[in-house]
Amino acid sequence: QLEAEIVAHEEPSPDIAVLRLRPDHPFPYVPGQYCSVETPWWPRVWRSYSMATAPRDDNLIEFHVRKIDAGWVSTALVRHARPGDVVRLGHPMGTMAIDRRSDRDVVCIVGGTGLAPIRAMIEDMAGWNWYRRVHVFFGVRKHEDLYDLSALTMLEAAHEWLTLTCAVSEDPTWIGDHGLA
């Protein structure tokens, strides 16, 4: 376990926060993994979140957190956390990862903050992939839940192998694909 300072806290939608943290020690992980987080507001209560960025030279880690009813940790991170606050991180866990030995295309179907590990894997692939097509289908209920759309569209514009399709199921004002991903 290590401590990490929150260096940025953004709320791109009413119930979602994007947090950037700076761990006090190196935090090696594989894109697609997750770790447990403990906040100072609920000591000894841990909740798992996927890292939303590939490992970076500056050691910053990004988490995407949706506040859920009766979610003590998620509510604290969305509503109360601010830059300067310190949280604790458990060890990286999980086996979801892109197999670099494969030459097969990749299809990702995500909803809401489930985008986090997918974005981390795509960021990682941007550093080495040039031959595998990646198709991301991002489904949400309301268009404001497409909280990370600008980062995804920038990745799509920079990499011809990446295709992004967004679908909104419960918002008739959305100009784009409607329905479930």
**CA–CA separation, 154 vs 82, rounded Å?**
27
Span 105-120, average pLDDT:
95
**CA–CA separation, 55 vs 31, rounded Å?**
7
- To which residue do tokens 């031959």 refer? 131
Nearest Cα to 106, choosing from 32, 10, 23?
32
Beta strand spans in 124-169 (E): 134-140, 162-168
Task: Identify the pLDDT of residue 85.
Answer: 98
For 26-58, the pLDDT digits (tens) are 999 999 999 999 999 999 999 999 999 999 999
Which residue type is seen at 136?
V
CB 16 within 8 A of CB 144: no
**CA–CA separation, 151 vs 102, rounded Å?**
26
Span 109-127, average pLDDT:
95
For 65-89, the pLDDT digits (tens) are 999 988 999 999 999 999 999 999 9
| SS3 assignment, position 19 | strand
**CA–CA separation, 52 vs 32, rounded Å?**
8
Name the DSSP class of 93. B
Which residue type is seen at 147?
Y
Beta strand spans in 51-175 (E): 61-66, 86-89, 106-111, 134-140, 162-168
